[in-house]
Amino acid sequence: MKHLINHIVIVGGRAAGPAAAAKARRENPGAKITMIEAGRYISTGTCEIPYLISGEVSSPGDLVFFTADDFKRHYDVDVLTDTSVTGIAPRQRLLQIESNGTKYEMGYDRLVLTTGAKSKIHPQFPPELKNVHYVKNIEDAEVLLGSEHLTGKSWLVVGASYAGLEFAESLAKKGKDVILIDKDELPGSGFDAEIRQLINEVLVKNGIEFVGKTPELKVFTDSGKVRKIKFDGRLKEIDGVIGSIGIEPETSLAKKAGLELGAKGGIKVDNRMRTSDQYIFAAGDCVELKDTVTGRHVYLPQAVVARDGGYVAGANAAGGNDFMYPVLRNTALRVFDRFATKTGKCAKTLDELRIPYKIVTATADALVHVMPGTHKVFGKLIIGNDGKILGAGFFGGPEVSGYCDIIALAIKAGLKATDLRHGHYNYTPTLSPFKNLIESLAIKAAGKSR
């Protein structure tokens, strides 16, 4: 079949796109491969963008891993940047393309859509306001970093989930006064309630004002800029705003092409990353994928998932036969010197799905108490009726990375909470505690099930 695939086109060049292109090239050395990107850059980092403000990452260029020329040289893939795909004619297998005012058509044998996601827009903070920034990609970051109001002292971050918290921290580290607002009562949407409380404590300690449940927020604009906000009777001057209330799959092209979407709004794909059109594949932040724990489709816009989905889509578009694994959320967030993690399912989702569960929580030492640098780590384990682990959340120092990865692997392997007991966790005074948090949670889980 590979010899019938003469031209593979990939629409979107950020995370899933380059992965798909690279894999397609490996799978099919003879095909022509074209990657089309609407923006200026391909192969970029996204998760690192907040740290451009704090200076932990020095320049946006550091987050561009391949230039178009390098990518062409390395993978023999034609790369078109600043080029938009405006329509798809699936029957004719034709793309409508626009670049620098010129419109043209391009045929394909197989198409891979890696169109990513776009920022949700808060109605009171439209991006048309000059000092309101939705910073989703490198180009957005360049605009923010080049804007003169970045010198202003007073910043508002709208939305206190992952990126919002990261931007708030970065602005604070840069010496800004930061107000962080969210529709929820606590920051850290997506994390467990106990962890959201702990996140809030860290924010307070570090001088970030969190304002939850802001129904009566008033925004005063002047000359196309946000100047002041008013809430709880308080009036605050504002120099700049970062909007960060979430992202949603960018599916306008898929919709136009008549591709099926899923319940979560992402493009529907099978486990080969094939859409409802047999010649079109999709991957990255524009698709929905099957969840490991529930077997249902979820929207999980994560860089690693985008990369791996891109690999599968690219391989299969090129005539291969690769499978995508069911996904599992396993995310972490730094809040100043602490880290919060979220793995698998949370109670809220399980309630919605009417999946029964029990919860155990524990607090443990990061190191034995006599060692310098120790601190407390909080953990929460969510366990199904059959004893299997459904999810977990941790809050502590960098050791939580290992803890949440242990849980992720345990969920993938179908282990029970009690299987985590006597896990042979290392004990080293300078590195790890005598009884770690996973062991403590497993002991509690065993006690409850007896």
Interface with a second copy by CB under 8 A: which residues? 45, 47-48, 51, 56-57, 62-63, 292, 302-304, 307-308, 325, 327-334, 339, 341, 343, 368, 370-372, 398-406, 408-413, 415, 419-420, 422-432, 434-436, 438
Pair of tokens at residue 302: 């994560």
What are 98's two structure tokens? 């626009």
Question: In the complex, what is the shortest distance from the CB of residue 23 to a second copy, in angstroms, rounded to a whole number?
Answer: 13
Nearest approach in angstroms of CB 447 to a second copy is: 13
**Comparison of 90 and 391: residue with beta carbon closer to a second copy:** 391
Supply the minimum distance, in Å, between the C-beta of residue 84 and a second copy. Answer: 28
DSSP for 323-384, written as a single string:
-PPPB--EEEEEETTEEEEEEE--HHHHHHTT--EEEEEEEEESS-TTSTT--EEEEEEEEE
Q: How many CA atoms lie within 13 A of 339 on its CB side?
A: 15
Give the CA diameter of the chain.
71
Task: Work out how close the CB of 19 gets to a second copy at its nearest, in angstroms, rounded to a whole number.
Answer: 11
Q: Look up residue 141 and give its two tokens.
A: 């970051």
Q: Which is nearer to a second copy, 200 or 292 (CB)?
A: 292
Of 200 and 341, which has the nearer Cβ to a second copy? 341
Pairwise CA distance, residues 300 & 360, whole Å: 26
Inter-residue contact 43 to 13 (CB < 8 Å): yes
Q: Residue 46 — φ and ψ, nearest 5°?
A: -115, -45
Radius of gyration of the chain from its Cα atoms, rounded to whole angstroms: 23
**Quick one: 62 or 76, whose CB is closer to a second copy?**
62
For residue 193, the minimal CB distance to a second copy (Å) is 21
Beta bridge partners of 177: 154
* Nearer of residues 83 and 440 to a second copy, judged by Cβ: 440
Question: Which residue carries 């580290």 as its tokens?
Answer: 173
Smallest separation (angstroms) from a second copy to the CB of 208: 17
252 Ramachandran zone, left/alpha/beta (phi>0; psi -120 to 50): alpha
* CB-count exposure of residue 303 (10 Å: 0-12, 13-18, 19+): middle
Q: In whole angstroms, what separates CA 332 from the centre of its chain? A: 10
Strand, coil or helix: 158: strand
For residues 335 and 332, what is the distance between their CA atoms, to the nearest angstrom?
Answer: 10
Residue 360 to residue 418: CA distance in whole angstroms: 12
Residue 341 Cβ vs a second copy, minimum distance, rounded to whole Å = 7
Q: How many CA atoms lie within 13 A of 444 on its CB side?
A: 19
At closest approach, how far in Å is the CB of 245 from a second copy? 20
- Which residues contact residue 439 at a Cβ distance below 8 angstroms, ignoring those fewer than 6 apart? 420, 421, 422, 423, 425
Residue 47 CB, nearest approach to a second copy (Å): 5
Pick 9 or 340: Cβ nearer a second copy? 340
Cβ nearer to a second copy, comparing 235 with 409: 409
Least CB distance from residue 344 to a second copy, whole Å?
9
Give the nearer residue to a second copy in terms of CB position, either 72 or 412. 412
SS3 201: helix
Closer to a second copy by Cβ: residue 36 or 300 = 300
Could you tell me which residues are beta bridge partners of residue 287? 267
Task: Give the Cβ contact number of residue 396 at 10 Å.
Answer: 23
Select 303 or 355, whichever has its Cβ closest to a second copy.
Answer: 303
* Nearest distance, CB of residue 289 and a second copy, angstroms: 12
Half-sphere exposure of 126 (CA within 13 A, CB side): 5
In the complex with a second copy, the residue whose CB is nearer, 65 or 104, is 65
Alpha-carbon gap, residue 156 to 158, rounded angstroms = 6
